[in-house]
Amino acid sequence: MVLRSSLKLSAALKSLNPKHVSKNLLISEINAPKVSEKSLVNKTENIHLSQAFYNGKEIDKDKLLQDMLVYEDFLTESEEKTLLDEIEPYLKRLRYEFDHWDDAIHGYRETERLHWNEDNSKTLKKVRDIAFPPDIAQLAHVHVLDLAPKGFIKPHIDAVRFCGTTIAGLSLLSDSVMRLVHDKKKLYTADVLLKRRSLYIMRNSARFDYTHEILNEKESVFNKKEVPRDRRVSIICRNEPLPEFRD
């Protein structure tokens, strides 16, 4: 299954030094998707903002909290298992990559998937329905990223050429901590607790104005509490790049 001529997704998607993100970028604001189910409460207690958000008033914390959403227990245990059952045979054939010092990701293997079995398609449809408004064009391929227990993701902004306003990620097998750091005002940071089986939605300002990273096992702490890391598989849906960035 070759989906891109040479799969170097992490390199293609990300730039460690996101210079090319235009300052004048006009991001069409998207409305919060309409979700009726009561269980899908956005868990702001899973987001810990740095003191700068409370001291300084340069950056609106409510804006960030609108644009970074976490839903705990989004997946049931059985949905998590069914997703893994489908991707594991393929992932197992790949080797974790550790030694490319310039990669945005350390200790990972990854793939993209277009076709999913019926149960998993239903699960992914739930993700897409909550993360993207109906009129937004989504990338058909789903990105599967497998981080080894010692794996981590360095700060980066996903390249605007490959991804639009919204990134929606499921976390499987392990809790982890994602850190957002404002790209221009580095004191404005947010730690996000990504529990196993949670869904996060990172969009607009959270996606364009902040780098994101997944902390390594030694730094994996949320609100002074250790968050033990194990192997973590994320399943990520994105929308199409904005028209001005398409090739």
* Of the candidate residues 158, 191, 213, 217, the single one contacting Mn ion (CB under 5 A): 158
Binding mask 130-169 for ligand OGA (x = CB under 6 A): ---------------x-------x----x----------x
Q: Which is nearer to ligand OGA, 30 or 170 (CB)?
A: 170
Q: Which is nearer to ligand OGA, 16 or 51 (CB)?
A: 16
Which residue number, 60 or 230, has a Cβ lying nearer to ligand OGA?
Answer: 230
Q: Determine which helix (DSSP H) or strand (DSSP E) holds 199, and give its type and residue range.
A: strand 199-203
Residue number, 80 or 158, with CB nearest to ligand OGA? 158
Q: In terms of Cα–Cα distance, which of 241, 27, 239 is closest to 134?
A: 239
Bridge partners (DSSP) of residue 108 are 97, 147
Pairwise CA distance, residues 234 & 232, whole Å: 7
Is residue 209 near Mn ion by the rule CB under 5 A? no
Q: Are 70 and 194 in contact (CB under 8 A)?
A: yes
Listed in sequence order, the residues at least 6 apart from 107 whose beta carbon sits closer than 8 Å to its beta carbon are 96, 97, 98, 147, 148, 150, 151, 152
Of 59 and 180, which CB lies nearer to ligand OGA in the complex structure?
180
Which of 109, 179, 212, 229 binds ligand OGA (CB under 6 A)? It is 212
Nearest distance, CB of residue 51 and ligand OGA, angstroms: 25
Measuring CA to CA, which residue among 139, 59, 143, 140 is closest to residue 108?
143
Can you tell me the distance from the alpha carbon of 115 to that of 199, in angstroms, rounded to the nearest whole number?
21
Please report where in the chains the tokens 């991707």 appear, as a residue: 87
Size of the site for ligand OGA (CB under 6 A): 10
Number of residues that bind Mn ion (CB under 5 A): 1
Which of ligand OGA, Mn ion, none lies near 169, with the C-beta cut-off 5 to 8 A by kind? ligand OGA
Residue 124 interacting entry, from Mn ion, ligand OGA, none, C-beta within 5 to 8 Å by type: none
Q: Distance (Å, rounded) from C-alpha 222 to C-alpha 226?
A: 6
Residues that bind ligand OGA (CB under 6 A): 13-14, 145, 153, 158, 169, 212, 214, 234, 236
